[in-house]
Structure 1
Amino acid sequence: MHEHIAEAVKEPDVVTVPPGAICLRFETMKLYSALGAVRHLLETGQIQPGDTLVDSSSGIYAHALALACHRYGLNCHIVGSTTVDRTLRVQLEVLGATLEQVRPSKDLRLDQNLRVQRIGELLRERPHYHWMRQYHDAVHYLGYRDVADLIRKEVPEGPLSLAGGVGTGASTGAIATYLREAGRDVTLVGVQPFGSVTFGSEHVSDPDMIIAGIGSSIPFRNVRHDLYDRVHWVNFDHAMSGAVALLRAGGIFAGLSAGAAYLATLWERERAPDRTHVFLAADTGHRYVDSAYAHHAAARGLGTMRPHEVTTRGELRHPWSVMDWPPAAGAPPRGTPALVPGTARHP
């Protein structure tokens, strides 16, 4: 029996999806990140029950942090993206969290910059708030050890390929790190939208695309670029087609990042059939109904889509590009790799 709903909700469903991939389907994946971080901060005395935790979120982390605060008797304040919908707003309100949203924008850079700017203002006004820094504090790696342990138990032994949205770096990066520490042979495949600075695609815009939580207009220190073996950049139309195909093939109703990860996984499976291929579905598809699923009739068949295989970021182009990492040429992306909790270099 679970002591709190957060402990139950975080558990993913491990589902086989045709043709021969495995999906970790989460309702709210970042509960692992939020619960692990909050528990560590309480245990080390960095926060106390009754304190207020604050952070920026496009939606998934907002729900996760609100539940973690509810679980441990803390206050929660979220500076939210325009992608935070009414369903989530009402849940946050009932859970006791407070939410303020930045002004509407379809531009990822402007949306994230406005949120970061507002966090700075809040901390100057209320210096006693604890900023969770989900983008930069490696404490967010800790909770994903449980996901790595689950994969070790549920997925057959042998070489593994793991694909998922990069986002803050704490999910795919942490899971791969803990699996590798346990001796597993893991190829880590990161999924990005065009326009994200994280792996240097900011020069290729996609005005239709805000895949919330998997791209960034600012450097995230929690992204350890050295952990990744390959990167896929997927635009809105292809991510939508992937999400629709995932629902049709496996009955899994998930977000756009899952659609992009499914698309990448099927290509990776053709390239390395000797590996077991696992991909992450970090959230459900509810907030993408109007923007994506309602247009399912326009979705392309997966067999008609192939990526542009490139060797430098200057060759990146729509609708889908893939590159081995690190790139053959060009300057490394901006940002400083994060330190991984549990190592000798713990911050």
Structure 2
Amino acid sequence: MTLLRSKSVFDQIIKSNLHCDSDGLDGWMRFDVMKCIPATYIVEKAISEGRINSDTVVIETTSGSFGVGLAEVCCRYGLELHLVSDPAIEGVAAMKARALGATVHIVRVPDASGNFQKARLAKVQDLKKSYQKHFIPEQYDNLDNVKAYLACADHYLAETGFVPDVLIASVGSGGSSRGLYTQFSLANSDLALVGVDTPRSVLFGDQDGKRVLRGLGNSVTPKIFCPSIFAEAHWVSYDCAVTGALRLYRELGYFCGLTSGGVYLTHKAVRRRNPNARILSIFPDNGYRYTDDLVDCDEALLPEQSTPDEITGFPNGSAHWSYRKLREKAYA
């Protein structure tokens, strides 16, 4: 197969909205669907290495964004794609994936914890038995998920000249946070990484359980996830993420999803504690999948000065916003 160089991963990077405020303290990196970056990078690399050709079937698990990214790149290359998801994908994400020719398999029975991740992974294993020639991107375990973001950080630095002291990123597979941190820390060796998670996600040690907020968090620990690089972890509740998304739209004009809302609220909290730090936050999704969540705007908004509780352990089922410093001196 011939690579479509005009549709390379760098084209996806350039589509992002890169911004830093005039005061030089607040930076934003906003994406329509950020996971188009690793999806494109992984598939194009596999094609260049001969692991994918015209009759290879691509199979992957996704809650939505990575699947849309795969659907776009597989459509460009004429590849058959099977996405395994759960009811969270229904709506805009499933429509976009199907419109691009993907087959979407929806797992409707959760596991004992109330989540679908393990059941989705099991379905992927079943599907691959039906296709002798298949390729599984394995977003949770594939280091190319991390490498895809290195050029993204370089592009931001070149375009804005903004070198952050603190990087705030949501965490699901751990690919974007690790990749961006790896490259930005070359420009600032004292860079502090703040991870945005949600209660009942196992990533930072909480117990697995049913999660209301989707798009971040995990029921399994991905192989590419690297907890040692994080200075601080925030567990953001659904209500806080809705508030963050609404405030992000009202205050910056960015209509983003709930994952971005959780990041924005965390940005504001970290800013209050660190008035002079240069803070860069990553907004990974748009808001069109979440319009139902944002209908009752005024009722959903929490007070402007809502702050997280600092804890020494884990949320353990608490639905409130909490955080924990993972290093004694996380940052100045």
TM-score, normalisation: structure 2: 0.88
Alignment-mate amino acid for residue 196 of structure 1: S
- 2:177 paired residue number: 172
Matched ranges for 1:315-326 at <5 A:
317-325=318-326
- Contact residue 164 and residue 280 of structure 2 kept, 8 A: no
Closer/same/farther in 2, CA of residues 262 and 121 from structure 1, 3 Å limit: same
Q: Give the 3-state SS of the residue equivalent to 1:24 in structure 2.
A: strand
Tell me, in whole angstroms, the C-alpha distance in 2 between the residues paired with 1:281 and 1:106: 30
Deviation of 1:140 (Å): 1.1
Tell me, in whole angstroms, the C-alpha distance in 2 between the residues paired with 1:241 and 1:161: 22
1:239 is aligned to 2:241: yes
Tell me, in whole angstroms, the C-alpha distance in 1 between the residues paired with 2:271 and 2:79: 44
- 1:210 paired residue number: 213
Alignment-mate amino acid for residue 118 of structure 1: K
Which segments of 5 or more consecutive residues in structure 2 lack a partner in the other structure? none
Q: Give the 3-state SS of the residue equivalent to 1:163 in structure 2.
A: strand
Deviations 1:190-235 (A, max 9, x none): 00010001111226x565x1322x1111121121111211100011
Deviation of 1:180 (Å): 1.8
- 2:121 paired residue number: 116
1:264 is aligned to 2:269: no
1:276 is aligned to 2:281: no
Q: What is the alpha-carbon root mean square deviation over aligned residues?
A: 2.7
1:162 is aligned to 2:163: no
Which segments of 5 or more consecutive residues in structure 1 lack a partner in the other structure? 329-347
Closer/same/farther in 2, CA of residues 201 and 295 from structure 1, 3 Å limit: farther
- Contact residue 235 and residue 319 of structure 1 kept, 8 A: yes
Q: Which moved more, 1:86-95 or 1:37-46?
A: 86-95
Q: Which moved more, 1:223-232 or 1:76-85?
A: 76-85
Tell me, in whole angstroms, the C-alpha distance in 2 between the residues paired with 1:82 and 1:66: 18
Q: Which moved more, 1:166-175 or 1:68-77?
A: 68-77
Alignment-mate amino acid for residue 231 of structure 1: A
1:13 is aligned to 2:17: yes
Q: Give the 3-state SS of the residue equivalent to 1:29 in structure 2.
A: coil
Q: Which moved more, 1:223-232 or 1:7-16?
A: 7-16
- Contact residue 20 and residue 162 of structure 2 kept, 8 A: no
Alignment-mate amino acid for residue 309 of structure 2: H
Aligned residue among 53, 57, 64 for 2:62: 57
Deviations 1:169-200 (A, max 9, x none): 00111110122235554211100010001111
Deviation of 1:157 (Å): 4.5
Aligned residue among 143, 146, 171 for 1:138: 143
- 1:252 paired residue number: 254
TM-score, normalisation: structure 1: 0.84
Deviation of 1:62 (Å): 0.5
1:3 is aligned to 2:3: no
- 2:231 paired residue number: 229
Alignment-mate amino acid for residue 206 of structure 2: S
Deviations 1:213-267 (A, max 9, x none): x111112112111121110001111111111111110111111111110111111
Deviation of 1:8 (Å): 4.6
Closer/same/farther in 2, CA of residues 14 and 102 from structure 1, 3 Å limit: same
- Contact residue 109 and residue 216 of structure 1 kept, 8 A: no
Q: Give the 3-state SS of the residue equivalent to 2:247 in structure 1.
A: helix
Aligned residue among 71, 89, 96 for 1:84: 89
- Contact residue 235 and residue 322 of structure 2 kept, 8 A: yes
- Contact residue 195 and residue 206 of structure 1 kept, 8 A: yes
Deviation of 1:317 (Å): 3.9
Tell me, in whole angstroms, the C-alpha distance in 2 between the residues paired with 1:139 and 1:6: 12
- Contact residue 109 and residue 218 of structure 1 kept, 8 A: no
Deviations 1:8-63 (A, max 9, x none): 55521124579963221101101111111112212222222331111000000011
Q: Give the 3-state SS of the residue equivalent to 2:28 in structure 1.
A: strand
Closer/same/farther in 2, CA of residues 199 and 258 from structure 1, 3 Å limit: same
Tell me, in whole angstroms, the C-alpha distance in 2 between the residues paired with 1:238 and 1:226: 26
| Percent of aligned positions that are identical | 26
Tell me, in whole angstroms, the C-alpha distance in 2 between the residues paired with 1:17 and 1:106: 45
Tell me, in whole angstroms, the C-alpha distance in 1 between the residues paired with 2:91 and 2:188: 44
Tell me, in whole angstroms, the C-alpha distance in 2 between the residues paired with 1:46 and 1:261: 36
Tell me, in whole angstroms, the C-alpha distance in 1 between the residues paired with 2:303 and 2:166: 20
Q: Which moved more, 1:228-237 or 1:45-54?
A: 45-54
Deviation of 1:137 (Å): 1.2
- Contact residue 145 and residue 178 of structure 1 kept, 8 A: yes
Tell me, in whole angstroms, the C-alpha distance in 2 between the residues paired with 1:163 and 1:315: 23
Deviation of 1:129 (Å): 1.4
Q: How many residues align?
A: 323
Closer/same/farther in 2, CA of residues 322 and 282 from structure 1, 3 Å limit: same
